[in-house]
Chain A
């Protein structure tokens, strides 16, 4: 099976702009989770979508939003970018079975806000 795809891989934006990141999960997986990784805060959970519905949300401001489409692909959007939003944004494709949930991560999108 193909792995998790994230686009774009690298992005440079300026303060005040908005950005949309895309994630295609592994075929057959209906749940997608998003994470932010920074040197100071480490890996932090943003939100999770299952069957087009946000099921769980982390402690991030409303500038961070997401959505999931009927084909399970997901996007996350950050509006009014701040310097502190510079980070590696990771998407995880979630497999659910009798052994519980397993998350498979994509390569990430590295965002630099100038």
Chain B
């Protein structure tokens, strides 16, 4: 599975958009980009995933560059409850295996 690189921490003002970057320069053609978040001591929460196209759901948007070597998770209107560790993971299907890195700690401030 390809390795991802994320900044260790980021701050965001409440109500503003939070843009979390992720580099995955060694991603292969059959690997998806997944985003999860983990609020302290809880199980990771699925946010969104994509293969090539940009994706949007009720929680967030995922922007994947055309060469697929990087992506950005966008939380359009961050709230204090979005404070969490955000994990960007690259994984192929049918493995049941996610490799978690250190993630980005997002602190949303009032």
B56 smallest CB distance to A (angstroms): 13
**A-B residue pairs in contact (CB < 8 Å), sample of 5:** A31-B96, A43-B44, A96-B94, A106-B43, A108-B42
Closest 6 CB pairs of A and B: A48-B96, A105-B43, A43-B100, A100-B93, A33-B96, A105-B44
Would A56 and B96 count as touching, CB distance under 8 A? yes
Task: Give the nearest-CB partner of A94 in chain B.
Answer: B96
B45 at interface, CB cutoff 8 A:
yes
For A99, list chain B residues within 8 Å (CB): 49, 51
Q: When the two chains form their complex, are residues B44 and A45 in contact, meaning their CB atoms are under 8 A apart?
A: no
Chain A interface, >50% SS class: strand
State the interface size on chain A (CB cutoff 8 A). Answer: 30
Docked complex Cα distance between A99 and B94 (Å): 11
Known A56-B95, A90-B43; further 15 A-B contacts with Cβ < 8 A:
A43-B44, A43-B87, A45-B99, A48-B96, A48-B97, A92-B43, A96-B93, A99-B51, A100-B93, A101-B93, A101-B96, A104-B46, A106-B43, A107-B42, A108-B42
Q: Which residues of A contact B97 (CB under 8 A)?
A: 33, 45, 48, 56, 58
- Residue A50 at the B interface, CB < 8 A? yes
A82 to B21, CA, bound (A): 38
Chain A residues near B96: list those with CB within 8 A. Answer: 31, 33, 48-50, 55-56, 94, 101, 103
Contacts of B93 in A (CB 8 A): 96, 100-101
- Residues in A1-55 with C-beta less than 8 Å from chain B: 4, 31, 33, 35, 42-45, 48-50, 55
